[in-house]
A and B are shown apart, each in its own frame.
Chain A
């Protein structure tokens, strides 16, 4: 389908979703969020695509929500619009999702990055949750995903002070995988996506699901879920192919079956 606020580019095995409202620093309007969700729903069932890059382009990832649109809204209006609860498409996305972040990832933009599976940051990137300065708090997972990733104290500092951190600092805090020159961020993310796309899609899916399960469940429960997925994968053709290729010292070709 045609999108107004985002670009979707499908190449062999990978896709890139680009937030495309640079004039408003990719402010996360309900329309834009809706399109991202729609695109991810479609890419999730698109067999041509095995991994996806999510980016805001070369200058900015997303500088939060549209404040002018929110300033005079009531609690009930906000509840009904449920702007922050509309990220279901990302939460349900089963393939590897890689954020390529240049410039600001603030507020909802930062939370969007934290919903991805890997974060590649340009050296110009800045991550932060400035909501506190507007008399509100993060509403799309910031208070939950920061502590689960960076720990309580870094999370408190980020959320209570509202001060953004550099790409290097975010890497130290464990919320960024790699810092690269800004002009290479998207390219590096795509290469990682291509590397992942060569792996067994079902194993990727189970691996992602298992890691995410760690944030949702006690250890014993997570271990049971992991084991079940581990055994399940022995029912796939790709497991047979992977192990045979290893023994035959050749490159495996995975088909997602």
Chain B
């Protein structure tokens, strides 16, 4: 056993942007027990740090994330041995992480530097915005190994792509290409690999310059609306707007608009 702990996940914080980078390129950023632990801590860290206004999740190397580390699923592998172990990892580890990404009151961008499969696709889809390279794809490969979908995709994918596309992916186990995902609106922007970093950085920096309470309000409104009736959503929005109208962010926004200058951060 090596005494030095491997670093599977890097976190860089720079000018309001928290970058979480999966760092197991030799394993296509597969998620093992250690990766899970480090990723969970990273997501908690970026959620709690008020200096971080925007989060970016990406992978190193050729893949965004190839999914669970299958070598750990076997009996010999570390950790998961029984069906209940698998369920427990989903419930106690993946669930809080994915919920945090989806609900933390700041924008979360997935930069898909390559394919996102299995639980990797779940991370990509739980983010708010996806920017991808043409070589990326989204794969729900569960059926190919005799499994049903997990990691929240039964909830996320029908909402993002529609039920027809979601079912087809779950039933066939065939990938959704970046081009198709882009056409469906699952991927917001498609950019050549050499431009991905710059494009993501530009968007992240732009969002980091936006009023944070208003950004948080937009996210909270959507999170609330997805579990609400139309009337409840309207009411929640109306209260959020009152809080915004009373905020310095709105005062500055209006003054800047009237003076035809850009907003101060």
A contact residues vs B (CB 8 Å cutoff): 123, 168, 178-181, 183-184, 187-188
Which of A168, A178, A181, A183 interacts with B227 by CB under 8 Å?
A168
In the complex, how many residue pairs between chain A and chain B have their CB atoms under 8 Å apart? 25
Evaluate contact between B224 and A179: CB separation under 8 angstroms: yes
The A-contacting residues of B in range 190-237, CB under 8 angstroms, are: 217, 220, 224, 227, 232, 235-236
> Given the known A-B contacts A179-B236, A180-B236, A181-B236, are A123 and B220 also in contact in the complex, defined by CB atoms under 8 Å?
yes
Evaluate contact between B224 and A123: CB separation under 8 angstroms: yes
Residue of A179, A181, A188 ringed by the most chain B CB atoms within 10 A: A181
Chain B proximity of A186: nearest CB distance (Å)? 12
CB-CB < 8 A to B232: which residues of A? 179
Q: Which of B35-43, B170-178, B238-246 contacts A (4 or more CB under 8 A)?
A: B238-246
Closest to B221 in A: A181
Which of A168, A178, A181, A187 interacts with B240 by CB under 8 Å?
A181
Give the size of the chain B interface in residues (CB under 8 angstroms): 11
Evaluate contact between A184 and B243: CB separation under 8 angstroms: yes
Q: How far is the CA of A56 from the CA of B54 in the complex (A)?
A: 30
Q: How far is the CA of A188 from the CA of B235 in the complex (A)?
A: 11
Q: How far is the CA of A181 from the CA of B217 in the complex (A)?
A: 9
Q: Please name the 5 residue pairs, one residue from A and one from B, whose CB atoms are nearest each other, closest first.
A: A184-B239, A183-B243, A181-B240, A180-B239, A181-B239
Q: How far is the CA of A123 from the CA of B227 in the complex (A)?
A: 12
Query: Can you list 23 pairs linking A and B with CB atoms under 8 Å apart?
Result: A123-B220, A123-B224, A123-B236, A168-B224, A168-B227, A178-B235, A179-B224, A179-B232, A180-B235, A180-B236, A180-B239, A181-B217, A181-B220, A181-B236, A181-B239, A181-B240, A181-B243, A183-B243, A184-B239, A184-B240, A184-B242, A184-B243, A187-B242
CB-CB < 8 A to A179: which residues of B? 224, 232, 236
18 other contacts beyond A168-B227, A181-B239, A181-B240, with CB at 8 A cut-off?
A123-B220, A123-B224, A123-B236, A168-B224, A178-B235, A179-B232, A179-B236, A180-B235, A180-B236, A180-B239, A181-B217, A181-B220, A181-B236, A181-B243, A183-B243, A184-B242, A184-B243, A187-B242
